[in-house]
């Protein structure tokens, strides 16, 4: 994470980064699910059915935490 977040990063910065990462995972598995509608692979279908709900839960969790942290911030305070 040090590559993406500098020493001035706070918890909200970290959770915003995690939110973007988890959104990418949800997007990836959703695309794979759509592609498999044509490919019709039972193995891929099983994997997507297993992985997509996990990633959706991760996304929901980090989004909720990001929103909670954001609600504690002063939007008028200099960054």
What pTM does this model have? 0.86
Domain ranges of the chain: 12-71
Q: What pLDDT does residue 1 have?
A: 63
Q: How deeply is 17 buried, as exposed, middle or buried, from its count of CB atoms within 10 A (0-12, 13-18, 19+)?
A: middle
Query: Per-residue pLDDT tens for 13-57?
Result: 999 999 999 999 999 999 999 999 999 999 999 999 999 999 999
Rg of the chain over CA atoms, in angstroms? 17
φ, ψ (nearest 5 deg) of residue 6: -85, 180
């Amino acid at each position: 994470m040090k590559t993406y977040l500098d020493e001035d990063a706070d918890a909200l910065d970290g959770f915003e980064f995690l939110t973007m990462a988890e959104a990418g995972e949800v997007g990836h598995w959703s695309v794979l699910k759509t592609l498999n509608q044509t490919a019709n692979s039972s193995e891929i279908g099983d994997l997507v059915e297993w992985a997509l709900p996990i990633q959706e839960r991760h996304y929901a969790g980090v989004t909720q935490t990001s929103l909670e942290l954001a609600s504690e911030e002063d939007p008028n305070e200099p960054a």
